Structure 1
Amino acid sequence: MDIAHCYLKGHLDMVFSEETAGIFDIKWSPAGGHASPFLAQADADGYLRIKILGGCCNGVEGANLKEITNGKISNSMCLYLDWNPSATSITVGLSDGSVSIVSLLESKLEIQDEWKAHDFELWTTSFDIHQPNLVYTGSDDCKFSCWDLRDKPPNVVFQSSKVHKMGVCCIEKSPHDPNTLLTGSYDEYLRVWDLRSMSKPLNKTSINLGGGVWRVKHHPFIPGLVLAACMHNGFAIVAIKGNNAEVSETYKKHDSLAYGADWQKREANHIGGNTKPLVATCSFYDKLVRVWRPGNDIVL
């Protein structure tokens, strides 16, 4: 695992590195959940690890990650994770098709629920940020499901098995609209779902991005703007408005599988008159990270 600091001058400096097991997913806890942000790590050895960022009081040069707790979640691989909004629970997708709900209280991990949600690898799982009692899952079995954690064991709210033609890779609930959710699939489609009827969600629009849609990220401040990692077809910024979705920009400066992407979480700075947000993208085989700004004006 590596930590780098991005300078506005246009380069990355390594500030911390350590040897770890293979990491399938890694995420910071939501803002406000803890005094200092936690970093959750889903590992190929079946462990969930929680770390805290330290050593930054005198600048980034002394930055480090300290592990505060870990837990063996499964004998299968941990493929994906997501925090609930209060940063007290984590949902973990497993390679045997199961999902685990793990609590984090007083720096201790405890499995609260675990059930067989799918037949094959569970590539993605996420809490509903507007209704945290709901958890979504997507799998290599082409199914997209929603579960209610208030039921014991969790009960399926809906399961879509006929829309995705290949495995479901990612699920992202809109932070701006409680009724909108996105899914990405190996079938190369980004799909927009209307959840006003929870028992029967409506796939209101789809757009082919020319590569398996492995990750999607909503813009933190601009509703309807989405960043997508499209595996063999680079990265795309997609504008979604009503029932329409169109690609506003593509980025193809990676020579390997486009696997990771995210927006700068704070408001774009105004240094040098630049108001466009930073984007970070990474690719698989060449282990490359790029930080860039969209070339097009972002207006919806």
Structure 2
Amino acid sequence: MRSQFGESVGALLDRRPDAVAVTADLLHATGLAGLRDRHADRLINVGIAEQNLTGVAAGLAACGKLPVVCGYAAFLTLRAVEQAKVDCAYNEFKVILAGLASGLSYGVGGPTHQTFEDVAIMRAIPNTIVVAPSDPVELDHALQAAAEHPAATPVYLRLGRGPEHVLDRPGAPFAIGRAARLAEGRDVCIVAHGAMVLEALLAADLLRAEGIAAEVLNMHTVKPIDRGAILAAAAQVRAMVVVEEHSTVGGLGSAVLEVLEGGHAFPVVRIGIEDAYPPIGPTPELREALGLSGPRIAGRIRGLLTKAAG
């Protein structure tokens, strides 16, 4: 994901003379180090100062530039939230805010570097788009779509740290605000984004072998969310499960329930990080321990459908 981010930002700077990459002393961690030879005049390192980082980006946008802000999600969305809100969103500046190492992808960094609040924070800011790509290919699509989006609004890209499995084709369709249906099924709909899309697909495969048909929606855009896709799934399934590598408070699950607030006649379960600090450890082990692996998700769905049938 990091190497793809560097390549995608480099390609954007190649295409757009107005594009500028701004980072907080993370040239190597964000894959941007290779741009020093190609675009030294449009690669700005402000040091470890995320608030200044976001403010500088807003200033660049005010001067007609397209800034791509590159930082760790934990610091970009918590430490610099005021600048994202006031300097960027309130002033209607087009700024791409790329938060890397989100969720549990930096699990060994502990609570200071794990990021499970960012979606809730960023989607609560008016005039802000929130996108969580599932793999490096979708990251490239999302960055291009963010750069081309006509609205004068910041776009928060929630990115992992790697390595990620590649699910998408380079030519796969992508549109901000439009979910991708990756599997069909009328028993249960699994809604996921980011790294959890792969786990949702693994869970669907396990369930399919047992005769349970699971629809999988890649809800890469949390805001604006694809209401039509959610309501269409709700009209035909017996249950809905939202899987997110984020707190169950205020994230994708909350956004889905907001769409369904008019009423629904089936159970909706949110699988994510409960209202507590996760432990410290390698990412795969943390996901398994917290119920965010394909087999654990399949087990929750199996129990949910059994309970609903009874």
Higher strand share: 1
Larger RCO (alpha carbons 8 Å, 6+ apart): 2
Which TM-score applies when normalising by structure 1?
0.27
Query: Normalized against structure 2, the TM-score is what?
Result: 0.26
